[in-house]
Amino acid sequence: TFQWLQSLHTDSYEININNSDNGEIQKKVTVLNSENITLKRGFPYSWWVFSKSEKSSIISKSQVWVFYLEGVSQSVHLPFPARLISPDVEEEITLDNGKFFFQWEGRDLDNDIISFDFYLGEDVDEMILIRSGLTGTGVEIELDEGKNYYWKIITKDSNHSTSSSALGVFSTSS
pLDDT for residue 5: 93
111 contact partners, CB below 8 Å, separation of at least 6: none
pLDDT class for 42, splitting at 50, 70, 90? confident
pLDDT for residue 31: 96
More confident residue, 110 or 133: 133
DSSP code at position 123: S
pLDDT for residue 110: 87
End-to-end CA distance of the chain: 77
pLDDT for residue 26: 96
pLDDT class for 22, splitting at 50, 70, 90? confident
Whole-angstrom Cα distance, residue 65 to residue 166?
A: 53
pLDDT for residue 32: 95
Mean confidence (pLDDT) of the chain: 93
Q: Which of 129, 72, 139 has the alpha carbon at shortest distance from 100? A: 139
pLDDT for residue 73: 59
pLDDT digits (tens, 9 = 90+) for 52-81: 999 989 899 999 898 888 876 556 788 888
pLDDT for residue 95: 97
| CB burial readout 68-84, b (16+ within 10 A) else e | eeeeeeeeeeebebbeb
Mean pLDDT of the 100-106 span: 97
Whole-angstrom Cα distance, residue 160 to residue 152?
A: 19
